[in-house]
Structure 1
Amino acid sequence: MTLYREIEESKKVYPAEQVIKNFQDVTEIATDLSEVRIYSTSDGKWLYCSSGGKAIPYVTATSDYQQIEGYAVELTKEEIGGTAMRFLFRTAFECQFCYRKIISLHAACIELNDFAVAFTGPSGIGKSTRAFAWMNALGAKLISGDRPAVRIENTGSTACGVPWDGKEQIFRDIEKPLRCILEVRRSSSNYLRRLSREQARKLIVQQSFVPMWDTDVAFMAMANVSALISKTPVYRVFCGPDENSARTIYDLLINHPELIREEAKDMRIKEGFVLRNVMDEYIVMPTGDNTAKFDGAVVLNEVSAFIYKLLEHPMCRDDLLAAILNEYDVDEATASADLDALLNKLAEMGVLEK
Protein backbone atom coordinates (compact mmCIF):
# COMPACT_ATOMS: atom_id res chain seq x y z
CA MET A 1 0.00 0.00 0.00
CA THR A 2 1.31 3.47 -0.86
CA LEU A 3 1.91 6.04 1.87
CA TYR A 4 -0.87 8.17 0.34
CA ARG A 5 -3.49 5.42 0.69
CA GLU A 6 -2.18 4.43 4.11
CA ILE A 7 -2.74 7.97 5.40
CA GLU A 8 -6.17 8.26 3.81
CA GLU A 9 -7.36 4.97 5.27
CA SER A 10 -5.97 5.62 8.75
CA LYS A 11 -7.60 9.05 9.18
CA LYS A 12 -10.55 8.89 11.55
CA VAL A 13 -12.98 11.76 12.05
CA TYR A 14 -15.59 11.85 14.84
CA PRO A 15 -18.30 14.24 16.03
CA ALA A 16 -16.64 16.96 18.11
CA GLU A 17 -18.93 16.62 21.14
CA GLN A 18 -17.47 13.17 21.86
CA VAL A 19 -14.13 14.60 22.95
CA ILE A 20 -14.51 18.28 23.94
CA LYS A 21 -15.01 17.42 27.61
CA ASN A 22 -11.70 15.51 27.67
CA PHE A 23 -9.60 18.57 26.85
CA GLN A 24 -10.32 21.05 29.59
CA ASP A 25 -6.83 20.79 31.15
CA VAL A 26 -4.35 21.64 28.39
CA THR A 27 -1.04 23.52 28.12
CA GLU A 28 -0.19 25.55 25.02
CA ILE A 29 3.17 24.71 23.48
CA ALA A 30 5.25 27.54 21.99
CA THR A 31 5.58 27.03 18.23
CA ASP A 32 6.39 29.11 15.17
CA LEU A 33 3.68 27.46 13.07
CA SER A 34 1.38 30.27 11.92
CA GLU A 35 -1.60 28.09 10.99
CA VAL A 36 -1.89 25.82 14.01
CA ARG A 37 -1.80 26.03 17.80
CA ILE A 38 -0.43 23.03 19.67
CA TYR A 39 -1.40 21.91 23.17
CA SER A 40 -0.34 19.07 25.43
CA THR A 41 -3.14 17.48 27.42
CA SER A 42 -3.28 16.24 30.98
CA ASP A 43 -3.45 12.62 29.79
CA GLY A 44 -0.29 12.88 27.65
CA LYS A 45 -1.80 13.54 24.23
CA TRP A 46 -1.31 16.28 21.67
CA LEU A 47 -4.09 18.63 20.59
CA TYR A 48 -3.85 20.55 17.30
CA CYS A 49 -6.23 23.48 16.72
CA SER A 50 -6.54 26.17 14.10
CA SER A 51 -4.57 29.33 14.81
CA GLY A 52 -7.73 31.08 16.00
CA GLY A 53 -7.61 29.08 19.24
CA LYS A 54 -9.16 25.91 20.63
CA ALA A 55 -11.76 25.87 17.90
CA ILE A 56 -13.36 23.14 15.87
CA PRO A 57 -12.20 21.30 13.82
CA TYR A 58 -9.20 19.91 15.67
CA VAL A 59 -6.97 16.83 15.66
CA THR A 60 -5.60 14.76 18.54
CA ALA A 61 -2.61 12.43 18.64
CA THR A 62 -1.15 10.06 21.20
CA SER A 63 2.29 10.91 22.56
CA ASP A 64 3.94 8.63 19.97
CA TYR A 65 1.63 9.83 17.16
CA GLN A 66 0.56 6.27 16.37
CA GLN A 67 -3.13 7.12 16.87
CA ILE A 68 -4.33 10.28 15.11
CA GLU A 69 -7.99 11.37 15.16
CA GLY A 70 -9.92 14.36 13.91
CA TYR A 71 -13.05 15.97 15.34
CA ALA A 72 -15.55 18.13 13.49
CA VAL A 73 -18.98 19.62 14.21
CA GLU A 74 -20.64 18.11 11.18
CA LEU A 75 -19.14 15.12 9.44
CA THR A 76 -19.64 16.55 5.97
CA LYS A 77 -17.24 15.78 3.16
CA GLU A 78 -16.44 19.50 2.84
CA GLU A 79 -15.50 19.91 6.50
CA ILE A 80 -13.46 16.70 6.73
CA GLY A 81 -11.55 17.56 3.55
CA GLY A 82 -11.37 21.30 4.21
CA THR A 83 -8.14 23.28 4.36
CA ALA A 84 -8.10 23.65 8.17
CA MET A 85 -8.69 19.96 8.87
CA ARG A 86 -6.21 18.88 6.20
CA PHE A 87 -3.49 21.11 7.66
CA LEU A 88 -4.08 19.79 11.19
CA PHE A 89 -3.92 16.18 9.98
CA ARG A 90 -0.77 17.02 8.01
CA THR A 91 0.99 18.37 11.10
CA ALA A 92 0.16 15.28 13.14
CA PHE A 93 1.13 12.81 10.41
CA GLU A 94 4.40 14.62 9.71
CA CYS A 95 5.28 14.09 13.38
CA GLN A 96 4.44 10.40 12.97
CA PHE A 97 6.73 10.29 9.91
CA CYS A 98 9.76 10.96 12.13
CA TYR A 99 9.23 7.59 13.83
CA ARG A 100 9.01 5.89 10.44
CA LYS A 101 12.16 7.33 8.80
CA ILE A 102 10.12 9.58 6.54
CA ILE A 103 10.95 13.24 5.87
CA SER A 104 8.42 15.86 4.81
CA LEU A 105 10.42 17.97 2.36
CA HIS A 106 9.64 21.49 1.17
CA ALA A 107 10.13 20.82 -2.53
CA ALA A 108 8.50 20.49 -5.92
CA CYS A 109 8.89 16.83 -6.86
CA ILE A 110 8.55 15.31 -10.33
CA GLU A 111 8.67 11.79 -11.76
CA LEU A 112 10.42 10.97 -15.01
CA ASN A 113 11.52 7.62 -16.49
CA ASP A 114 10.79 5.66 -13.31
CA PHE A 115 12.67 7.96 -10.96
CA ALA A 116 11.93 11.17 -9.05
CA VAL A 117 13.78 14.48 -8.70
CA ALA A 118 13.02 17.04 -5.97
CA PHE A 119 13.63 20.78 -6.42
CA THR A 120 14.10 22.55 -3.09
CA GLY A 121 15.14 25.95 -1.76
CA PRO A 122 13.58 28.98 -0.06
CA SER A 123 10.12 30.18 -1.04
CA GLY A 124 10.09 32.21 -4.24
CA ILE A 125 13.39 30.88 -5.61
CA GLY A 126 11.70 29.05 -8.50
CA LYS A 127 11.23 25.42 -7.44
CA SER A 128 7.87 25.04 -9.17
CA THR A 129 9.08 26.94 -12.24
CA ARG A 130 11.95 24.46 -12.70
CA ALA A 131 9.63 21.51 -12.12
CA PHE A 132 7.21 22.78 -14.77
CA ALA A 133 10.11 23.35 -17.18
CA TRP A 134 11.00 19.65 -16.80
CA MET A 135 7.37 18.74 -17.39
CA ASN A 136 7.17 20.80 -20.59
CA ALA A 137 10.61 19.85 -21.93
CA LEU A 138 10.91 16.21 -20.89
CA GLY A 139 7.40 14.96 -20.22
CA ALA A 140 7.84 14.74 -16.44
CA LYS A 141 4.81 14.69 -14.12
CA LEU A 142 4.39 16.22 -10.69
CA ILE A 143 4.30 13.98 -7.67
CA SER A 144 3.83 16.94 -5.32
CA GLY A 145 3.93 20.64 -6.04
CA ASP A 146 5.24 21.66 -2.64
CA ARG A 147 5.53 18.99 0.06
CA PRO A 148 6.39 15.40 -0.89
CA ALA A 149 7.32 12.79 1.70
CA VAL A 150 10.69 11.06 1.33
CA ARG A 151 10.92 7.57 2.79
CA ILE A 152 14.44 6.40 3.65
CA GLU A 153 15.13 2.88 2.41
CA ASN A 154 18.03 0.47 2.94
CA THR A 155 19.63 1.31 -0.39
CA GLY A 156 18.26 4.77 -1.17
CA SER A 157 15.12 6.82 -0.76
CA THR A 158 11.63 7.01 -2.25
CA ALA A 159 9.61 10.13 -3.08
CA CYS A 160 5.98 9.63 -2.02
CA GLY A 161 2.87 11.56 -2.84
CA VAL A 162 0.77 12.49 0.21
CA PRO A 163 -2.83 13.81 0.42
CA TRP A 164 -1.89 17.44 1.08
CA ASP A 165 0.22 20.17 -0.40
CA GLY A 166 1.11 23.85 -0.09
CA LYS A 167 0.26 26.62 -2.51
CA GLU A 168 0.31 24.43 -5.64
CA GLN A 169 -2.35 22.03 -4.30
CA ILE A 170 -1.05 19.30 -6.61
CA PHE A 171 -0.48 15.87 -5.07
CA ARG A 172 -0.72 12.37 -6.51
CA ASP A 173 -0.88 8.85 -5.14
CA ILE A 174 2.43 7.67 -6.56
CA GLU A 175 5.89 6.62 -5.33
CA LYS A 176 9.19 6.65 -7.23
CA PRO A 177 12.87 6.15 -6.29
CA LEU A 178 14.36 9.58 -5.52
CA ARG A 179 17.38 10.03 -7.76
CA CYS A 180 18.57 13.33 -6.28
CA ILE A 181 17.61 16.57 -4.55
CA LEU A 182 18.38 19.84 -6.36
CA GLU A 183 18.79 23.11 -4.47
CA VAL A 184 17.62 25.75 -6.96
CA ARG A 185 19.68 28.83 -7.78
CA ARG A 186 18.77 31.30 -10.52
CA SER A 187 21.44 31.60 -13.19
CA SER A 188 21.85 32.35 -16.89
CA SER A 189 24.30 29.44 -17.14
CA ASN A 190 23.44 25.79 -16.49
CA TYR A 191 25.52 23.54 -14.25
CA LEU A 192 25.46 21.45 -11.09
CA ARG A 193 27.63 21.43 -8.01
CA ARG A 194 27.52 18.54 -5.56
CA LEU A 195 27.09 19.65 -1.95
CA SER A 196 29.28 18.36 0.84
CA ARG A 197 27.67 16.32 3.60
CA GLU A 198 27.60 19.35 5.92
CA GLN A 199 26.16 21.63 3.23
CA ALA A 200 23.50 19.05 2.38
CA ARG A 201 22.62 18.53 6.03
CA LYS A 202 22.10 22.26 6.64
CA LEU A 203 19.98 22.56 3.52
CA ILE A 204 17.69 19.60 4.25
CA VAL A 205 17.23 20.61 7.89
CA GLN A 206 16.11 24.06 6.71
CA GLN A 207 13.79 22.61 4.09
CA SER A 208 12.20 19.76 6.06
CA PHE A 209 9.67 19.45 8.86
CA VAL A 210 11.26 19.37 12.33
CA PRO A 211 8.74 19.53 15.24
CA MET A 212 10.79 21.59 17.67
CA TRP A 213 8.03 21.49 20.31
CA ASP A 214 8.70 17.76 20.80
CA THR A 215 12.42 17.31 21.54
CA ASP A 216 12.49 13.53 21.17
CA VAL A 217 10.80 13.61 17.78
CA ALA A 218 12.96 16.55 16.66
CA PHE A 219 16.05 14.42 17.33
CA MET A 220 14.54 11.64 15.21
CA ALA A 221 13.93 14.15 12.41
CA MET A 222 17.57 15.24 12.51
CA ALA A 223 18.74 11.61 12.44
CA ASN A 224 16.50 11.03 9.41
CA VAL A 225 18.15 13.96 7.62
CA SER A 226 21.59 12.43 8.21
CA ALA A 227 20.37 9.09 6.88
CA LEU A 228 18.82 10.70 3.80
CA ILE A 229 21.92 12.62 2.71
CA SER A 230 24.05 9.49 3.12
CA LYS A 231 21.86 7.67 0.59
CA THR A 232 20.65 10.38 -1.81
CA PRO A 233 22.91 12.91 -3.59
CA VAL A 234 22.16 16.59 -3.06
CA TYR A 235 23.22 19.11 -5.70
CA ARG A 236 23.04 22.85 -6.11
CA VAL A 237 21.58 23.53 -9.54
CA PHE A 238 22.36 26.76 -11.36
CA CYS A 239 19.95 27.18 -14.25
CA GLY A 240 17.32 29.26 -15.93
CA PRO A 241 13.56 28.61 -15.81
CA ASP A 242 13.26 27.60 -19.47
CA GLU A 243 12.92 24.24 -21.22
CA ASN A 244 16.43 24.33 -22.72
CA SER A 245 17.87 24.68 -19.21
CA ALA A 246 15.81 21.69 -18.10
CA ARG A 247 17.19 19.58 -20.94
CA THR A 248 20.76 20.63 -20.17
CA ILE A 249 20.53 19.78 -16.47
CA TYR A 250 18.83 16.46 -17.23
CA ASP A 251 21.63 15.58 -19.65
CA LEU A 252 24.25 16.37 -17.01
CA LEU A 253 22.53 14.25 -14.37
CA ILE A 254 21.84 11.23 -16.56
CA ASN A 255 24.46 11.20 -19.30
CA HIS A 256 27.42 13.25 -18.07
CA PRO A 257 27.75 13.04 -14.28
CA GLU A 258 31.52 13.40 -14.70
CA LEU A 259 30.91 17.06 -15.62
CA ILE A 260 29.19 17.86 -12.32
CA ARG A 261 31.40 20.24 -10.36
CA GLU A 262 32.99 19.27 -7.08
CA GLU A 263 31.90 20.59 -3.72
CA ALA A 264 33.37 23.89 -2.53
CA LYS A 265 33.26 25.91 0.66
CA ASP A 266 30.31 28.27 1.05
CA MET A 267 30.10 31.81 2.34
CA ARG A 268 27.10 34.04 2.95
CA ILE A 269 25.98 37.36 4.40
CA LYS A 270 25.51 37.15 8.16
CA GLU A 271 22.09 37.55 9.70
CA GLY A 272 21.32 41.09 10.80
CA PHE A 273 22.26 43.06 7.67
CA VAL A 274 20.02 44.40 4.91
CA LEU A 275 20.70 45.89 1.47
CA ARG A 276 18.62 48.88 0.35
CA ASN A 277 18.59 51.02 -2.78
CA VAL A 278 18.49 54.62 -1.54
CA MET A 279 18.48 57.35 -4.19
CA ASP A 280 20.30 55.11 -6.67
CA GLU A 281 22.90 54.04 -4.10
CA TYR A 282 23.12 50.52 -2.68
CA ILE A 283 23.64 50.72 1.08
CA VAL A 284 24.22 47.86 3.55
CA MET A 285 22.79 48.62 6.98
CA PRO A 286 22.89 46.65 10.25
CA THR A 287 19.74 45.62 12.09
CA GLY A 288 18.97 44.41 15.60
CA ASP A 289 21.98 43.67 17.81
CA ASN A 290 24.39 44.48 14.97
CA THR A 291 23.43 48.16 15.08
CA ALA A 292 25.51 48.85 18.19
CA LYS A 293 28.50 46.84 16.93
CA PHE A 294 28.64 48.17 13.37
CA ASP A 295 30.26 51.50 12.60
CA GLY A 296 28.29 53.27 9.89
CA ALA A 297 27.12 51.73 6.62
CA VAL A 298 28.61 50.15 3.50
CA VAL A 299 27.95 51.75 0.11
CA LEU A 300 28.16 49.36 -2.85
CA ASN A 301 28.21 49.86 -6.59
CA GLU A 302 25.91 47.92 -8.93
CA VAL A 303 28.24 44.92 -9.37
CA SER A 304 28.98 44.71 -5.64
CA ALA A 305 25.26 44.86 -4.87
CA PHE A 306 24.70 42.04 -7.37
CA ILE A 307 27.26 39.90 -5.52
CA TYR A 308 25.78 40.84 -2.14
CA LYS A 309 22.33 39.65 -3.23
CA LEU A 310 23.80 36.32 -4.37
CA LEU A 311 25.46 35.97 -0.97
CA GLU A 312 22.13 36.21 0.83
CA HIS A 313 22.14 32.44 0.19
CA PRO A 314 25.25 30.25 0.59
CA MET A 315 27.59 30.47 -2.40
CA CYS A 316 31.20 29.55 -3.12
CA ARG A 317 33.72 31.89 -4.72
CA ASP A 318 33.85 30.07 -8.07
CA ASP A 319 30.07 30.30 -8.47
CA LEU A 320 30.12 33.99 -7.63
CA LEU A 321 32.79 34.56 -10.27
CA ALA A 322 30.82 32.57 -12.86
CA ALA A 323 27.71 34.66 -12.11
CA ILE A 324 29.66 37.92 -12.61
CA LEU A 325 31.11 36.76 -15.93
CA ASN A 326 27.64 35.72 -17.13
CA GLU A 327 26.03 38.99 -16.07
CA TYR A 328 28.65 41.61 -17.00
CA ASP A 329 31.03 42.31 -19.88
CA VAL A 330 34.31 42.00 -17.96
CA ASP A 331 37.41 39.86 -18.34
CA GLU A 332 37.97 37.06 -15.85
CA ALA A 333 41.19 38.45 -14.34
CA THR A 334 39.59 41.81 -13.53
CA ALA A 335 36.40 40.20 -12.22
CA SER A 336 38.40 37.79 -10.05
CA ALA A 337 40.51 40.55 -8.50
CA ASP A 338 37.51 42.80 -7.84
CA LEU A 339 35.56 39.90 -6.32
CA ASP A 340 38.38 39.04 -3.91
CA ALA A 341 38.68 42.68 -2.90
CA LEU A 342 34.95 42.88 -2.11
CA LEU A 343 34.92 39.59 -0.21
CA ASN A 344 37.90 40.68 1.89
CA LYS A 345 36.20 44.02 2.63
CA LEU A 346 32.95 42.35 3.71
CA ALA A 347 34.85 39.85 5.85
CA GLU A 348 36.91 42.57 7.56
CA MET A 349 33.75 44.48 8.39
CA GLY A 350 32.10 41.41 9.89
CA VAL A 351 29.36 41.19 7.26
CA LEU A 352 30.50 37.94 5.63
CA GLU A 353 30.23 34.53 7.21
CA LYS A 354 32.37 31.66 5.88
Structure 2
Amino acid sequence: MPRKGAVMLHGVLIEWQGKGIVLTAASGTGKTTHARLWREHENALIINGDRVLLRKEKEQWYAYGTPWSGSSGECVNRKVALNAIVFLHRGLINAVEQISPLQALGEMLPRTIAPKWHKEYSELAVDYAVKCLEDTTLISLQCLPNAESVSVLKQKLMTVL
Protein backbone atom coordinates (compact mmCIF):
# COMPACT_ATOMS: atom_id res chain seq x y z
CA MET A 1 0.00 0.00 0.00
CA PRO A 2 2.68 2.59 0.81
CA ARG A 3 4.23 1.92 -2.61
CA LYS A 4 0.88 2.91 -4.12
CA GLY A 5 0.59 6.12 -2.10
CA ALA A 6 -1.75 4.75 0.56
CA VAL A 7 -1.66 4.22 4.29
CA MET A 8 -3.78 1.96 6.49
CA LEU A 9 -5.19 3.28 9.75
CA HIS A 10 -6.80 1.47 12.67
CA GLY A 11 -10.15 3.19 12.88
CA VAL A 12 -13.79 3.25 11.87
CA LEU A 13 -14.91 5.00 8.69
CA ILE A 14 -18.37 6.52 8.55
CA GLU A 15 -20.08 8.53 5.84
CA TRP A 16 -22.41 11.24 7.09
CA GLN A 17 -24.15 13.62 4.69
CA GLY A 18 -21.63 12.71 2.00
CA LYS A 19 -18.66 13.41 4.28
CA GLY A 20 -16.03 10.85 5.20
CA ILE A 21 -15.17 10.81 8.89
CA VAL A 22 -12.62 8.49 10.48
CA LEU A 23 -12.97 7.70 14.18
CA THR A 24 -9.70 6.46 15.61
CA ALA A 25 -8.66 5.44 19.12
CA ALA A 26 -6.92 2.69 21.02
CA SER A 27 -8.64 -0.69 20.87
CA GLY A 28 -11.57 -0.95 23.26
CA THR A 29 -12.14 2.81 23.54
CA GLY A 30 -15.53 2.80 21.82
CA LYS A 31 -15.02 3.50 18.11
CA THR A 32 -17.63 0.98 17.03
CA THR A 33 -20.06 2.09 19.74
CA HIS A 34 -19.72 5.71 18.66
CA ALA A 35 -20.10 4.83 14.96
CA ARG A 36 -23.26 2.87 15.71
CA LEU A 37 -24.63 5.87 17.63
CA TRP A 38 -24.02 7.94 14.48
CA ARG A 39 -25.92 5.35 12.44
CA GLU A 40 -28.80 5.29 14.92
CA HIS A 41 -29.15 9.05 15.45
CA GLU A 42 -27.80 10.59 12.23
CA ASN A 43 -28.35 7.88 9.63
CA ALA A 44 -24.60 7.60 8.99
CA LEU A 45 -23.26 4.71 6.94
CA ILE A 46 -20.55 2.65 8.62
CA ILE A 47 -18.18 1.87 5.77
CA ASN A 48 -15.58 0.01 7.80
CA GLY A 49 -15.28 -0.96 11.43
CA ASP A 50 -11.55 -1.53 11.91
CA ARG A 51 -9.11 -0.82 9.05
CA VAL A 52 -9.39 2.26 6.86
CA LEU A 53 -7.28 2.90 3.79
CA LEU A 54 -6.31 6.54 3.19
CA ARG A 55 -4.98 7.80 -0.13
CA LYS A 56 -4.51 11.20 -1.72
CA GLU A 57 -5.64 11.61 -5.31
CA LYS A 58 -4.78 14.94 -6.89
CA GLU A 59 -5.53 17.41 -4.08
CA GLN A 60 -8.09 15.33 -2.13
CA TRP A 61 -7.62 12.61 0.48
CA TYR A 62 -10.03 9.70 0.21
CA ALA A 63 -10.91 6.97 2.68
CA TYR A 64 -11.77 3.46 1.56
CA GLY A 65 -13.54 0.58 3.20
CA THR A 66 -11.45 -2.57 3.38
CA PRO A 67 -12.32 -6.24 3.86
CA TRP A 68 -10.80 -6.11 7.36
CA SER A 69 -13.59 -5.12 9.71
CA GLY A 70 -12.36 -6.56 13.00
CA SER A 71 -14.97 -7.74 15.46
CA SER A 72 -17.48 -5.13 14.24
CA GLY A 73 -18.34 -7.07 11.07
CA GLU A 74 -18.93 -3.70 9.39
CA CYS A 75 -17.38 -3.41 5.92
CA VAL A 76 -18.57 -1.86 2.66
CA ASN A 77 -16.55 -1.61 -0.52
CA ARG A 78 -16.84 2.17 -0.84
CA LYS A 79 -14.71 5.26 -1.34
CA VAL A 80 -15.52 8.64 0.24
CA ALA A 81 -13.73 11.98 0.40
CA LEU A 82 -12.00 12.29 3.77
CA ASN A 83 -13.27 15.34 5.62
CA ALA A 84 -12.19 14.75 9.21
CA ILE A 85 -10.27 12.47 11.53
CA VAL A 86 -11.69 12.27 15.03
CA PHE A 87 -9.45 11.10 17.87
CA LEU A 88 -11.82 9.49 20.31
CA HIS A 89 -11.25 9.35 24.08
CA ARG A 90 -13.44 8.13 26.90
CA GLY A 91 -14.45 11.05 29.06
CA LEU A 92 -16.57 12.04 32.02
CA ILE A 93 -18.36 14.60 29.83
CA ASN A 94 -18.84 15.13 26.11
CA ALA A 95 -16.33 17.73 24.91
CA VAL A 96 -14.83 18.46 21.52
CA GLU A 97 -12.05 20.62 20.13
CA GLN A 98 -10.24 21.06 16.85
CA ILE A 99 -6.55 20.15 17.14
CA SER A 100 -3.41 20.75 15.13
CA PRO A 101 -1.43 18.14 13.18
CA LEU A 102 1.28 18.31 15.83
CA GLN A 103 -1.25 17.59 18.59
CA ALA A 104 -2.64 14.66 16.57
CA LEU A 105 0.68 13.12 15.56
CA GLY A 106 1.24 11.19 18.79
CA GLU A 107 -2.17 9.55 18.42
CA MET A 108 -2.00 8.95 14.67
CA LEU A 109 1.32 7.14 14.48
CA PRO A 110 0.46 4.24 16.85
CA ARG A 111 -2.69 3.64 14.78
CA THR A 112 -0.86 3.72 11.45
CA ILE A 113 -0.49 0.20 10.15
CA ALA A 114 2.88 -0.11 8.45
CA PRO A 115 5.05 -3.05 7.44
CA LYS A 116 7.64 -2.73 10.22
CA TRP A 117 9.81 -5.39 8.58
CA HIS A 118 10.33 -3.14 5.53
CA LYS A 119 12.08 0.14 6.39
CA GLU A 120 11.23 1.98 3.15
CA TYR A 121 7.53 1.10 3.26
CA SER A 122 7.30 1.93 6.97
CA GLU A 123 8.84 5.34 6.34
CA LEU A 124 6.48 5.93 3.41
CA ALA A 125 3.46 4.99 5.54
CA VAL A 126 4.52 7.44 8.26
CA ASP A 127 5.12 10.16 5.65
CA TYR A 128 1.62 9.65 4.22
CA ALA A 129 0.09 9.67 7.69
CA VAL A 130 1.79 12.99 8.47
CA LYS A 131 0.71 14.50 5.15
CA CYS A 132 -2.85 13.37 5.78
CA LEU A 133 -2.82 15.12 9.16
CA GLU A 134 -1.58 18.31 7.51
CA ASP A 135 -4.41 18.27 4.96
CA THR A 136 -7.36 17.11 7.07
CA THR A 137 -9.60 18.60 9.75
CA LEU A 138 -8.58 17.03 13.07
CA ILE A 139 -10.88 16.75 16.07
CA SER A 140 -10.36 15.48 19.60
CA LEU A 141 -13.54 14.10 21.20
CA GLN A 142 -13.82 13.27 24.89
CA CYS A 143 -17.08 11.39 25.20
CA LEU A 144 -19.52 9.15 26.93
CA PRO A 145 -21.26 6.37 24.96
CA ASN A 146 -24.49 8.33 24.48
CA ALA A 147 -26.46 10.27 21.88
CA GLU A 148 -25.24 13.59 23.27
CA SER A 149 -21.69 12.70 22.16
CA VAL A 150 -22.97 12.50 18.58
CA SER A 151 -24.70 15.86 18.94
CA VAL A 152 -21.59 17.54 20.36
CA LEU A 153 -19.38 16.20 17.56
CA LYS A 154 -21.99 17.00 14.90
CA GLN A 155 -22.16 20.64 16.03
CA LYS A 156 -18.39 20.95 15.80
CA LEU A 157 -18.21 19.27 12.40
CA MET A 158 -20.89 21.60 11.05
CA THR A 159 -18.77 24.61 12.01
CA VAL A 160 -15.44 23.35 10.61
CA LEU A 161 -16.40 21.39 7.48
Q: Same fold (TM over 0.5)?
A: yes
Residue 214 (1) aligns with residue 121 (2): no
Higher RCO structure, 1 or 2 (CA under 8 Å, sep 6+): 2
Cα distance between partner residues in 1 of 2:84 and 2:35: 13
Tell me which residue corresponds to 1:165: 69
Cα distance, 1:197 vs. partner? 2.2
Tell me which residue corresponds to 2:32: 128
Tell me which residue corresponds to 1:205: 109
Residue 249 (1) aligns with residue 153 (2): yes
Cα distance between partner residues in 2 of 1:104 and 1:233: 18
Deviations 1:271-316 (A, max 9, x none): xxxxxxxxxxxxxxxxxxxxxxxxxxxxxxxxxxxxxxxxxxxxxx
Bigger mean CA offset, 183-192 vs 127-136: 183-192
Cα distance between partner residues in 2 of 1:247 and 1:197: 24
Deviations 1:140-179 (A, max 9, x none): 0110011111112332311111222212122101111111
Tell me which residue corresponds to 1:226: 130
4+ long deviations beyond 3 Å: none
Cα distance, 1:102 vs. partner? 1.1
Cα distance between partner residues in 1 of 2:109 and 2:58: 21
Per the normalisation by structure 1, the TM-score is 0.43
Asked if the contact 1:155/1:231 (under 8 Å) is kept, the reply is no
Aligned pairs for 1:100-119 within 5 A: 100-119=4-23
Greater radius of gyration (CA): 1
Asked if the contact 1:110/1:140 (under 8 Å) is kept, the reply is yes
Identity level (%): 24
Cα distance between partner residues in 1 of 2:142 and 2:60: 25
Aligned pairs for 1:67-82 within 5 A: none
Aligned pairs for 1:79-98 within 5 A: 97-98=1-2
Instruction: Looking at secondary structure, tell me which structure has more strand per residue.
Output: 2
Cα distance, 1:207 vs. partner? 0.5
Residue 179 (1) aligns with residue 88 (2): no
Cα distance, 1:188 vs. partner? 3.6
Bigger mean CA offset, 224-233 vs 130-139: 224-233
Asked if the contact 1:137/1:244 (under 8 Å) is kept, the reply is no
Cα distance, 1:110 vs. partner? 0.7
